[in-house]
Amino acid sequence: MMYEPQVDDYVIWKRPSGDWDEGWVYFKGDPIDNEKRNKQGWNNVSQYITIEIHVYPKKECTYTSGKPMRHNNIHCLLICNKDNWNELEYVKNRRGEEDIKLVDMYKSQERPLDIDSYGLIPPRF
């Protein structure tokens, strides 16, 4: 049975070339329905995870207009496609009773998208 990685698992990715990296599973994409994509003429894509291999503090930014920075760290992530999950070795996870309670309590803030400010939607005349 192949290991199915989950967010907050610590894994070692041992590749056939002999290279290896290790870190926390930071994101896991949803399974992809490639049959539906093929019918629409799109290319196949693979489900993937990202592995956080390094985190370091972000330097103070001059573009925040004096406001505190929203994100304080820079995360270096590797993408690992589902075809390579057989090369992953599970080490441990950081999902504990306390973590589960915090996740249950957290509710994301509802707010409208600010995509107009980035010029992604053409102006209406």
The verdict on residue 104 lying in a domain is yes
pLDDT, averaged across the chain: 80
Residues in the chain: 125
The verdict on residue 72 lying in a domain is yes
Q: Does 120 score more than 50 pLDDT?
A: no
**Helices within the chain (DSSP H only):** 34-39, 97-105
The tally of domains found in the chain comes to 1
The verdict on residue 34 lying in a domain is yes
Q: What percent of the chain has pLDDT over 70?
A: 72
The verdict on residue 15 lying in a domain is yes
The per-residue pLDDT for 97 is 59
The verdict on residue 2 lying in a domain is no
Is pLDDT larger for residue 124 or for residue 72? 72
The verdict on residue 18 lying in a domain is yes
Q: Does 53 score more than 90 pLDDT?
A: yes
The verdict on residue 115 lying in a domain is no
The per-residue pLDDT for 1 is 73
The secondary structure of residue 119, as a DSSP letter, is: T
pTM above 0.85, yes or no: no
